[in-house]
Copies of this chain bind each other. A is one copy, B any other.
């Protein structure tokens, strides 16, 4: 049911020299599917990440941050789906450490050179013994061309695997992500792993991961919830040497944005992909505030689901954004190119059939012009459907 989202073909995904991937069936929650991924990095690879701001930060996130902070070069990522190992207290931390220790033993490195990631149900004990049992199969199957399998192995309620590649001169950028619910600006419930064979300093890598997150995963909203496990990791193996910084940034942002938009397109129950652009604000913060007021409103989202140009809900959402001193009489509102509202009310030329025509589409652009400055921002969201309720009511059954 994803909105205009097809799985990438094998030929779409370019291997990144220095990055090998292996998957296995650990049987963590459901049998008959691959649910464990090891990403092994060649010597010389650098890693940087950004993580959830949820205070109930999951055990693997705590351990991954600690291992990154140890200053030891990361040699592997271990990612399981089916169980988030979140809200699991000290036992959860011990389980995350056990995964790292076992992977380190198999790969011949220090456990602090392994980063753990988990996604799935919260507050259930992680069956770490199943991970330990399946890790040898992951390691035995490590290959540079397994990005597609890796994208499948990290899915939860995702209906389509998410992976993207781009070339940046002599360098390659390839990434995978998962996530479909519990999605909001400050990190979605998502895991994202993007790798390049370009050479970057640690500082440049850390700036780039923050920059990429800010223009991709931090610009999406499915349901306004921030998960306990969100992690976005950028890897640079240096195997392709230095490359043009601007082209590399474009490629990394392009891959990250493609993955972030894929998460929205595959948003739980999504039937529409909605781009919300806010123009001419005083600063980006107020533009974001307006954009998220729209992207988070259940009433706006159900109207999109119904293809109903109930535009008053859009105005009400803008009015709720709490932008100081906002003069609603100066606000213009557009659906695609149709002017819908200005001067505090419906635009005189607006006709219901124009609104209906736009609302019937599966890709809709909402544009709000605040007319009080020069800043702008864009966020991406989806509609709220029956299927969202079904998926989330029945998630554990």
Digitize A68-110: 1 where CB-to-B-CB distance is under 8 Å, 0 elsewhere. Answer: 0000000000000000101111111000000000000000000
Whether A88 pairs with B225 at a CB distance below 8 angstroms is no
- Measured as residues with beta carbon below 8 angstroms from the partner, the interface class of chain A is 35 or more
Whether A389 pairs with B394 at a CB distance below 8 angstroms is no
A345-B306 in contact given A296-B224, A312-B84 (Cβ < 8 Å): no
Query: Which of A166-174, A205-213, A315-323 is found at the contact surface with chain B?
Result: A315-323
How many whole Å from A90's CB to the nearest CB in chain B? 7
How many whole Å from A87's CB to the nearest CB in chain B? 4
Whether A389 pairs with B385 at a CB distance below 8 angstroms is yes
Whether B87 pairs with A346 at a CB distance below 8 angstroms is yes
Q: Is residue A343 contacting chain B, with contact meaning CB distance below 8 A?
A: yes
Whether A345 pairs with B92 at a CB distance below 8 angstroms is yes
How many whole Å from A122's CB to the nearest CB in chain B? 2
Instruction: For A269, give the chain B residue with the smallest CB separation.
Output: B389
Chain A, interface SS category: loop
Q: Is residue A375 contacting chain B, with contact meaning CB distance below 8 A?
A: no
Whether A225 pairs with B55 at a CB distance below 8 angstroms is no
Q: Is residue A54 contacting chain B, with contact meaning CB distance below 8 A?
A: yes
Instruction: For A302, give the chain B residue with the smallest CB separation.
Output: B392
How many whole Å from A172's CB to the nearest CB in chain B? 35
Which B residues are CB-close (under 8 A) to A38?
none
Chain A, 284-336, CB within 8 A of any chain B CB? 296-299, 302-303, 305-306, 308, 310-313, 315-323, 326, 328
Which B residues are CB-close (under 8 A) to A323?
55
Chain A, 105-130, CB within 8 A of any chain B CB? 121-124
Whether B89 pairs with A346 at a CB distance below 8 angstroms is yes
Which B residues are CB-close (under 8 A) to A226?
316, 319-320
**Residue positions of A touching B, CB distance < 8 A:** 53-57, 84, 86-92, 121-124, 181-182, 223-228, 296-299, 302-303, 305-306, 308, 310-313, 315-323, 326, 328, 341, 343-346, 384-386, 388-390, 392-397
- Can you list 10 pairs linking A and B with CB atoms under 8 Å apart? A53-B322, A56-B318, A57-B319, A86-B312, A86-B316, A123-B311, A226-B316, A228-B312, A306-B393, A310-B396
